[in-house]
């Protein structure tokens, strides 16, 4: 049907466009509609043929045949010839009938096939002669076009109807059949207005909608191109609405034209006196319809009007169907739209959910990290950060044996029975080869800042030689702003914060730099020669303690320290540190409102690298150094092991290094170890043992860190005690030499005054001498009290007082504590090494010049075994 073709065209265009947008119009089942229509037409044709030949003769043709049944039923041509002969007797002079069941024809099948073909050919010739659309004989064979056969039958039916109706005028038929091959042409009425707008395609019988649209002024391009062009750049969700509007517009236009056509017909009928309500049959019986070729007269006008009427009715039916199609398309589109909206809504909700979950996840991760850190703080575990060095320039770039798994975990490729296996290690943080110095510092910063809140902090770098310890702590050989290591950044951060807090807290910062070289402690902040302080064991107090005011002071001092550091070129590292270096920063803050004192201390330790002497090709001095280094690192390993296993005895005293780190490893400090590894495959052994060591370190619990803070009341009490002591001391001024008295528990006090010895240093020396002569014991602790401000400067020497006295309490009752951490500097080493402007003074109380006047007191008290300062 023409209308069917129209709806198909429009819908298929829409479908094309939607497909173009990636979505099929699944719901519009055009194919099934088409098939339904074809079957209706086929049934009509079959029904009519059966009616014409009778049920018996038409037994081979079912009333509602499938395509195949229809084709097979008509294949012999017998039904077709008989029907034609019935309409026009003798049209097919000879019809070969089917052989009777009882008569056996030799080679019957071949004979009948030939004879059937004769039937079909005769039928087609006869049809052709009458100008009725035909089909190809091959259409009756398998794979032929049954629709053309249907068309032909329906055309014959129409012809029959026309003949039945008297055969007046010119018979014509429009269907999807093979065009007549002979010269007889059907007269088509092209003159009418309607036909101008809705002309039938002569071959396909389709409505030329393009022309319609052209006439409607919509466009000059073909319909499909037009619709495609129109829809191609539209969003998919708008397509249903656009198509719907488009179809409505077409319908509207169509109806308008039809209405005007109807009007024209009505006018014509009125003019010719034919009642417009009369049916086609009525008009036919009254013989009004005339052949177009008849001369124009009144009855011709009537026929003309009738044709109009017929066409109008036909088109009305088409329009109705079109409307139905439009409605169903609309419904489909609305469905699609609703579905689409629902899907978009669902998708939106889903995305919202995902976003919510993602942000929740982030929060949980943040919270986890915070809690983890809190737990770490509470447990006081040593934090371990792992950093891998990148391949160095000029080094053959192999595949790194270490891979990051996440920000805390790394895997190391190790050989195994089945090729390669991965070993996983988890630390507090893992820095990949591309991590910058700034990134590394950022994760260290909070720890460093807590020094200003009165905590003791220790950061030490551990790892195989050449793995990047010095790089992390100090930086590369050529320093730039970006490559500055943790040491520089830490100190400049301290200055920055102390500046920010200057309205509430006044900070003094002092720096000390030592190294442990071949088990000897050396002061790195000396300008003349490297001082060896190893005679008295771990005698760090004698190292210079230099007040610093700015980052540039620090840089100056560090450069001095680095210059003095024992560095050599080895096979593994052309600038290998041959010693353990320790930069110690003492911070003292005075709360300007409450008067409370905060004291924080930070060790920044760059350990010498462990090395395999065979690999480093060390001989002579290098070999000796390597042995010392390895020995002290192994002592560090022993300390870590016993701490990890919570053993009662921890062998701190086995090396200077462990003595230095004692407070940080077993005390209440906040401690961080940077463990360094190399990416090379031939460092696998060292890498694994380094990582295992680091794992053990991370299990060591230090206990919750405690800030060194004295409240104002404590301060007041201390002031009172100090003032009482001062009064007592004044009474004893007459003493010219240190006196000694014993306490009930066997402790001995040695009291001295500046008048008996010119400086308090000599008092200490004398005390120590005295101690040796009395018991050979060791002085556990030196405390210095400044009498004029009344503060207890335990562990710090304040030299701005006018009167200070020393008091040493010696342990006579318990075994000596070798190497106990008497590690506060003596005032003579508290001096400025930094070039000073003429009037510049180092912080109050730290300038060595100021302690010349006045009396000084040092209390040397014994503390229980294992308790640090």
Ligand X SMILES: Nc1ncnc2c1ncn2[C@@H]1O[C@H](COP(=O)(O)OP(=O)(O)OP(=O)(O)O)[C@@H](O)[C@H]1O
Q: Is residue 432 a contact point for ligand X (CB under 6 A)?
A: no
Report which DSSP code applies to 745.
T
- Residue 226 or residue 486: which is nearer to ligand X going by CB? 486
Among 41, 383, 469, 656, binds ligand X (CB under 6 A): 469
Instruction: Give the Cβ contact number of residue 811 at 10 Å.
Output: 23
In whole angstroms, how close is the CB of 389 to ligand X at the nearest point? 4
**466 assigned binding-site residue:** yes
Burial of 156 (0-12, 13-18, 19+ CB in 10 A): buried
Q: Closest separation between CB of residue 361 and ligand X, Å?
A: 31
Q: With CB under 6 A as the contact rule, which of the stretches 272-280, 398-406, 466-474, 836-844 interacts with ligand X?
A: 466-474
Indicate the residue among 231 and 490 with the shorter CB distance to ligand X. 490
**Least distance to ligand X, CB of residue 589, Å:** 32
Distances (CA, A) of 208 to 199, 201, 202, 522: 6, 6, 10, 105
Q: Looking at beta carbons only, is 2 or 608 nearer to ligand X?
A: 608
- Cβ atoms of 807 and 801 closer than 8 Å: no
CB 589 within 8 A of CB 598: yes
Which residues within the stretch 18-47 sit at the binding site for ligand X (CB under 6 A)?
A: none
3-state SS class at 815:
coil
Pairing of strands 409-416, 419-426: antiparallel
Find the part of the chain contacting ligand X (CB under 6 A) among 135-143, 352-360, 470-478, 510-518: 470-478
CA-nearest of 235, 227, 67, 225 to 146 is 67
Is 466 a binder of ligand X (CB under 6 A)? yes
Using the rule CB under 6 A, which residue among 197, 325, 573, 826 binds ligand X?
573
Complex with ligand X: residue 194 or 674, whichever CB lies closer: 674
In this complex, which beta carbon is closest to ligand X, that of residue 547 or of residue 679? 679
Phi and psi torsions of 581, nearest 5°: -110, 150
| Contact residues for 827 (Cβ-Cβ < 8 A; gap 6+) | 760, 761, 797, 799, 848, 851
Binders in 659-688 for ligand X, by CB under 6 A: 676
* Residues in 269-328 at the binding interface with ligand X, rule: CB under 6 A: none
Could you tell me which stretch among 64-72, 525-533, 572-580, 811-819 binds ligand X (CB under 6 A)? 572-580
* SS3 assignment, position 65: coil
For ligand X, the binding residue among 4, 302, 380, 463 (CB under 6 A) is 463
**695, 482 contact by CB (below 8 A):** no
Q: Which is nearer to ligand X, 113 or 392 (CB)?
A: 392
Q: Residue 631 CB, nearest distance to ligand X (Å)?
A: 15
Q: Tell me, what DSSP letter sits at residue 413?
A: E
| Per-residue contact flags (x/-) with ligand X for residues 390 to 429, judged by CB under 6 A | x-x-------------------------------------
- Ligand-binding annotation for 465, yes or no, is yes
Distance between CA 40 and CA 48 in Å, rounded?
A: 12
Does 329 carry a binding-site annotation?
A: no
| CB closest to ligand X, residue no | 609
Length of the chain: 869
CA–CA gap between residue 836 and residue 550 (Å, rounded): 12
Provide the angle, in degrees to the nearest 10, between the axes of the packed helices 67-74 and 78-87.
70
Any contact of residue 608 with ligand X (CB under 6 A)?
yes
* Window 830 to 859, contacts with ligand X (CB under 6 A): none
The smaller minimum CB distance to ligand X, of residues 466 and 666, is found at: 466
* Secondary structure class of 820 (helix, strand, coil): coil
Closest by CA to 548, choosing from 592, 606, 494, is 494
Return the number of the residue (78 or 697) whose C-beta is nearest ligand X: 697
Give the interface segment with ligand X, choosing from 13-21, 75-83, 389-397, 786-794 (CB under 6 A): 389-397
Q: How far apart are CA 770 and CA 450, in angstroms?
A: 40
One residue of 7, 309, 467, 708 binding ligand X per CB under 6 A: 467
Q: Which is nearer to ligand X, 465 or 768 (CB)?
A: 465
Separation CA 804–CA 87 (nearest Å): 145
Q: Which contacts qualify for 59-66: CB closer than 8 Å, 24 or more apart?
A: 64/39
* Displacement of CA 17 from its chain's centroid (Å): 35
Q: How far is the CB of 762 from ligand X (least distance, A)?
A: 41
Closer residue to ligand X, CB minimum distance, 205 or 476: 476
Give me the least distance between CB of 638 and ligand X, in Å please.
20
CA distance 165 to 284: 7
Half-sphere exposure of 285 (CA within 13 A, CB side): 5
Residue closer to ligand X, measured from CB, 233 or 478: 478
Judge whether 285 is annotated as a binding position: no
Phi, psi angle pair for 333, to nearest 5°:
-65, -40
52-59 CB contacts, 8 Å cutoff, 24+ apart? 52/82, 52/83, 52/86, 52/87, 52/160, 53/79, 53/82, 53/83, 53/86, 57/82
Tell me the window of 47-55, 155-163, 569-577, 647-655 that interacts with ligand X (CB under 6 A): 569-577
Q: Which is nearer to ligand X, 626 or 783 (CB)?
A: 626
- Cα 696 to Cα 698: distance, rounded to the nearest angstrom: 5
Which of 339, 563, 575, 772 forms a contact with ligand X (CB under 6 A)? 575
**Nearest C-alpha neighbor of 512 from the set 469, 467, 479, 542:** 542
Task: Provide the minimum distance between the beta carbon of 388 and ligand X in the complex, in angstroms, as a whole number.
Answer: 8
Of 642, 640, 646, whose CA–CA distance to 675 is shortest? 640
Rg (CA), the chain: 55
The reply to whether 465 sits near ligand X by the rule CB under 6 A is: yes
Q: Identify which of residues 61 and 562 has a Cβ nearer to ligand X in the complex.
A: 562
Q: Which of 577, 708, 751, 786 binds ligand X (CB under 6 A)?
A: 577
**Which position among 122, 470, 564, 830 is part of the footprint of ligand X (CB under 6 A)?**
470
- Taking the C-alpha atoms of residue 692 and residue 604, their distance in angstroms, rounded to an integer, is 22
Identify whether the C-beta of residue 329 lies closer than 8 Å to the C-beta of residue 28: yes
d(CA 620, CA 116): 118
464 is in an annotated binding site: yes
Number of residues that bind ligand X (CB under 6 A): 19
Among 99, 205, 476, 595, binds ligand X (CB under 6 A): 476
Q: Shortest approach of ligand X to residue 567 CB, angstroms?
A: 8
- State yes or no: 294 annotated in a binding site: no
User: For 526, phi and psi rounded to 5 degrees?
Assistant: -125, 150
CA distances from 594 to 550, 569, 589, 601, 706 (A): 26, 53, 12, 21, 20
385 binds ligand X (CB under 6 A): no
∠ at Cα 209 (207, 212), nearest 5°?
115
- Is residue 616 a contact residue for ligand X (CB under 6 A)? no
d(CA 311, CA 306): 8
Query: How far does CA 152 lie from the centroid of its chain?
Result: 68
User: Does 576 help bind ligand X (rule: CB under 6 A)?
Assistant: yes
The angle formed by the CA atoms of residues 723, 726 and 731, to the nearest 5 degrees, is: 135
CB of 391 to ligand X, least distance (A): 9
Stretch that binds ligand X, among 570-578, 739-747, 805-813, 847-855 (CB under 6 A): 570-578
Q: Which stretch binds ligand X (CB under 6 A): 9-17, 263-271, 385-393, 734-742?
A: 385-393
737-776 residues in contact with ligand X (CB under 6 A) are none
Considering the complex, state which of residue 197 and residue 573 has its C-beta at the smaller distance from ligand X: 573
Closest CB to ligand X among residues 329, 465? 465
Ligand-binding annotation for 736, yes or no, is no
Binding residues: 463-470
Binding residues for ATP: 463-470
Residues interacting with ligand X, by CB under 6 A? 389-390, 392, 463, 465-471, 476, 573, 575-577, 608-609, 676
């Amino acid at each position: 049907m023409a209308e069917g073709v129209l709806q198909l065209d429009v819908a298929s265009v829409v479908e094309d466009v939607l497909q173009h947008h990636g979505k099929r119009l699944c719901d519009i089942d055009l194919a099934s509609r088409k098939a339904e229509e074809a079957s209706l037409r086929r049934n009509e044709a079959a029904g009519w043929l059966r009616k014409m030949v009778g049920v018996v003769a038409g037994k081979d043709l079912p009333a509602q045949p499938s395509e195949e049944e229809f084709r097979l039923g008509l294949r012999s041509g017998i039904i077709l010839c008989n029907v034609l002969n019935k309409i026009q007797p003798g049209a097919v002079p000879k019809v070969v009938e089917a052989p009777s069941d009882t008569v056996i024809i030799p080679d019957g099948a071949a004979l009948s096939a030939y004879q059937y073909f004769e039937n079909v050919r005769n039928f087609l010739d006869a049809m052709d002669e009458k100008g009725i659309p035909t089909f190809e004989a091959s259409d009756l064979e398998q794979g032929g076009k049954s629709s053309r056969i249907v068309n032909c039958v329906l055309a014959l039916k129409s012809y029959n109807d026309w003949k039945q109706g008297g055969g007046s005028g010119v018979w014509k038929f429009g269907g999807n059949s093979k065009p007549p091959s002979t010269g007889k042409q059907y007269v088509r009425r092209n003159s009418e207005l309607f036909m101008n707008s809705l002309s039938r395609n002569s071959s396909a019988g389709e409505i030329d909608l393009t022309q319609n649209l052209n006439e409607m002024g919509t466009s000059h391009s073909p319909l499909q191109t037009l619709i495609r062009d129109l829809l191609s750049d539209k969003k998919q969700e708008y397509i249903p609405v656009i198509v719907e509007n488009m179809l409505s517009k077409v319908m509207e236009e169509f109806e308008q034209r039809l209405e005007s056509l109807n009007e024209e017909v009505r006018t014509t009928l009125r003019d010719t006196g034919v009642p417009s309500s009369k049916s086609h049959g009525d008009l036919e019986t009254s013989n009004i319809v005339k052949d177009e070729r008849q001369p124009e007269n009144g009855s011709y006008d009537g026929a003309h009007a009738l044709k109009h009427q017929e066409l109008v009715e036909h088109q009305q039916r088409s329009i109705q169907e079109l409307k139905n199609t439009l409605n169903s398309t609309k419904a489909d589109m609305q469905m699609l739209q609703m579905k689409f909206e629902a899907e978009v809504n669902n998708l939106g909700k889903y995305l919202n959910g995902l976003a919510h979950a993602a942000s929740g996840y982030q929060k949980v991760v943040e919270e986890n990290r915070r809690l983890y850190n809190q737990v770490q703080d509470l447990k006081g575990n040593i934090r371990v950060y792992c950093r891998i060095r990148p391949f160095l320039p000029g080094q053959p770039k192999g595949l790194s044996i270490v891979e990051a798994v996440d920000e805390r975990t790394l895997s190391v490729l190790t050989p195994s029975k089945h090729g390669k296996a991965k070993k996983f290690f988890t630390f507090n943080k893992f820095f990949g080869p591309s991590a910058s110095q700034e990134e590394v510092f950022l994760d260290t910063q909070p720890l460093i800042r807590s020094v200003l809140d009165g905590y003791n902090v220790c950061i030490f770098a551990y790892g195989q030689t050449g793995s990047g310890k010095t790089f992390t702590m100090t930086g590369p050989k050529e320093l730039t702003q970006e490559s500055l290591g943790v040491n520089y950044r830490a100190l400049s951060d301290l200055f920055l914060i102390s500046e920010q807090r200057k309205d509430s807290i006044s900070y003094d910062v002092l720096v000390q730099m030592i190294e442990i070289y071949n088990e000897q402690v050396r002061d790195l902040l000396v300008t003349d020669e490297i001082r060896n302080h190893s005679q008295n064991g771990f005698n760090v107090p004698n190292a210079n303690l230099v007040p610093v005011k700015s980052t540039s002071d620090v840089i100056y001092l560090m450069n001095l320290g680095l210059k003095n550091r024992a560095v050599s070129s080895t096979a593994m590292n052309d600038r290998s540190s041959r010693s353990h270096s320790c930069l110690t920063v003492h911070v003292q803050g005075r709360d300007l409102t409450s008067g409370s004192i905060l004291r924080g201390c930070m060790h920044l330790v760059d350990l010498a690298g462990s090395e395999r002497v065979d690999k480093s090709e060390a001989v002579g001095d290098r070999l000796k150094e390597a042995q010392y280094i390895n020995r002290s690192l192994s002592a560090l390993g022993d300390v870590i092991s016993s701490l990890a296993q919570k053993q009662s005895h921890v062998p701190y005293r086995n090396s200077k290094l462990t003595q230095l780190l004692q407070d940080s490893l077993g005390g209440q400090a906040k401690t961080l170890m940077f463990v360094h590894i190399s990416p090379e495959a031939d460092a696998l052994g060292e890498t694994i043992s380094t990582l295992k060591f680091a794992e053990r370190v991370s299990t060591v619990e230090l206990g919750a860190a405690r800030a060194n803070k004295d409240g104002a009341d404590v301060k007041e009490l201390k002031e009172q005690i100090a003032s009482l002591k001062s009064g007592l001391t004044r009474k004893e001024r007459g003493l010219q030499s240190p006196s000694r008295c014993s306490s009930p528990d066997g402790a001995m006090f040695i009291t001295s005054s500046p008048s008996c010895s010119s400086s308090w240093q000599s008092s200490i020396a004398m005390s120590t001498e005295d101690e040796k002569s009395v018991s050979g014991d060791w002085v556990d602790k030196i405390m210095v009290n400044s009498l004029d401000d009344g503060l207890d400067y335990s562990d710090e020497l304040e030299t701005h007082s006018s009167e200070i006295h020393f008091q040493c309490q010696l342990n006579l009752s318990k075994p000596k504590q070798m190497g106990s951490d008497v590690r506060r500097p003596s005032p003579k080493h508290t001096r400025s090494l930094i070039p000073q402007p003429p009037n510049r003074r180092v912080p109050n109380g730290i300038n060595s010049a100021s302690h010349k006047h006045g009396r000084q007191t040092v209390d040397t008290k014994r503390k229980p075994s294992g308790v640090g300062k």
